[in-house]
Amino acid sequence: MKKPTLTRSLFSIIAALTFLPDALAIELPDAAPVPGGVALLELAASETPPSATLNGKPVMVLANGSAYTAVVGLPLATKPGTHTLKIKEASGKVLSRKFTVTDKTYQSQHITIKNKRMVNPEKRDMERIGREQGQIKKALASWNEQSPETLRFLLPVEGPVSSPFGLRRFFNEQARRPHSGLDLAAAEGTPIKAPASGRIADTGEFFFNGNTVFIDHGQGLVTMYCHMSRIDVEPGQQVAAGEVIGAVGKTGRVTGAHLHWGVSLNDARVDPMLFLKQLPPAAEEQTSAKGSKDAN
C-alpha cells in the first residue's frame, strides 16, 4: 500500500484545524429573551474575542466559528422593551448592540410556614441575614475568564419539579421575592451531583438557604444548591460533571426535603430549565413532590 506523502498529511491536518472551531463549539442554552431568561446575541466576526457588558456587568462571550455569541442573563426585574449590550473590541472601540426583551407572566404561589421567624425574622436574625447576604452576593457574582465546558446541564438530582422558577411568592399571605431557582423534590440524603464541571466558589450555612454550595463554571455562570443535609466539597475544589457535592436536606426555610437549584448568569438569576439536557417530570405527575418547597 502506498504511504501518504508529506503534502497529503499536511493537507489533512490543515483541513482538520479549519473545521475545529465548529467541532468544539459549546452547545448553547435555549434562547428566551424574557425577564428571568437568556438572550443569545450574535456578534460580528473578529480576530480576537470582544468583551461585553450589560448594565455595567460582564457578559459571557463565546466563539462561534469565526464569529462570537453573547450569552446574556436577564434578571427577573428586567422591564420589557429595548435594551443595550455594550461591546468593546480589542482595538478599544465600543459598540452598542440593541435587543428586545418581551414580557412574561409568572404564576403565584401561596405557602404556609409554621416557623414564624422564617417569615418575619427577629432582630438577631436580621443581623445574621445582613452578614450572609454579602457572602451570597459575592459568590453569585463570581467571574473568571475561563469558558464553561458546556451550557447544557445534567440534572443535579433525579426528581420532579415541586416549584418552578419565577413564581411570585406569598408566605403566610405576605408578598416576598419571586422564586429565584428550581425546586426538585427528592428524599433527604439523596446525592446531589454537579451538573457540569467547575470550581467550588464558596459554601456556607445560611438562615434562609440552609447548607449551600456555589459552583463557578466560568464567565459569570454560577450554580447554587440550597437546603442540603450535608456538604461534601470545599471552596476552591475542582469538580467534574456528575461528581457528588452533597446530599438533599431540609435546612433553612423549607416545608420539606428538596433541592433548590439556582443558576446565575452575569449575576442575574435565570431559569435553570433553559440549560437542561433533559427536562425533569412535572410535580403534578408525581405525588411525592407535594410539600417540598422553599422561599428562595
Helix (H) or strand (E) holding 295: none
Please say if the pLDDT value at position 296 is more than 70: no
The pLDDT score that the predictor gives to residue 177 is 73
> Sign of the CA dihedral 21, 29, 272, 100?
positive
Which grid cell sits at 77? Answer: 426585574
Cα separation, 282 vs 96, in Å, equals 40
Please say if the pLDDT value at position 92 is more than 70: yes
What is the average pLDDT value for the chain, to the nearest integer? Answer: 85
Judging by beta carbons within 10 Å of its beta carbon (0-12, 13-18, 19+), is residue 49 exposed, middle or buried? middle
The pLDDT score that the predictor gives to residue 123 is 86
The more confidently predicted of residues 107 and 228 is: 228
- Chain position carrying cell 427577573: 76
The pLDDT score that the predictor gives to residue 145 is 94
What band does 290 get if pLDDT is binned at 50, 70 and 90? very low
E strand residue ranges, the chain = 38-43, 51-54, 57-64, 67-73, 81-88, 94-101, 108-111, 161-163, 168-171, 174-175, 182-185, 191-193, 198-206, 210-218, 221-228, 230-231, 238-239, 244-247, 258-265, 268-270
pLDDT in tens, 9-47: 443 333 333 333 443 478 899 999 999 999 999 998 787
The pLDDT score that the predictor gives to residue 90 is 84
The pLDDT score that the predictor gives to residue 26 is 84
Residue type, 229: S
The pLDDT score that the predictor gives to residue 91 is 85
pLDDT in tens, 197-211: 999 999 999 999 999
Residue ranges and CATH numbers for the domains of the chain are: 6-101 (2.60.40.1590), 108-289 (2.70.70.10)
Cα separation, 79 vs 160, in Å, equals 31
The pLDDT score that the predictor gives to residue 291 is 40
Please say if the pLDDT value at position 257 is more than 50: yes
